[in-house]
């Protein structure tokens, strides 16, 4: 996702939301629905 340079607050919010989705399984569920496979990226 592209974000306008200098918008660190928004980037932090996006990263937090993505991290939360990865931790609660939402990311995997959405990825499997749209790509019919396991996600390549896993939470660190």
Q: Which of 36, 5, 30, 4 is nearest to 17 (CA)?
A: 30
**Can you spell out the DSSP letters for 1-44?**
----TT-HHHHHHHHHHHHHHHHHTHHHHHHHHHHSS--S----
pLDDT band for position 41 (cuts 50, 70, 90):
confident
- Average pLDDT rounded to a whole number, residues 22-44: 88
- Average pLDDT rounded to a whole number, residues 23-27: 93
Count: domains in the chain: 1
pTM, 2 dp:
0.71
* Statement: residue 33 has pLDDT above 60: yes
Whole domain around residue 3: which residue ranges?
Answer: 1-44
* Statement: residue 34 has pLDDT above 80: yes
């Amino acid at each position: 996702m592209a974000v306008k340079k200098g918008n660190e607050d928004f980037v932090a919010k996006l990263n937090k939301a993505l991290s939360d989705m990865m931790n609660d399984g939402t990311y995997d569920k959405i990825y499997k629905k749209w790509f019919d496979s396991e996600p390549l990226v896993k939470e660190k």
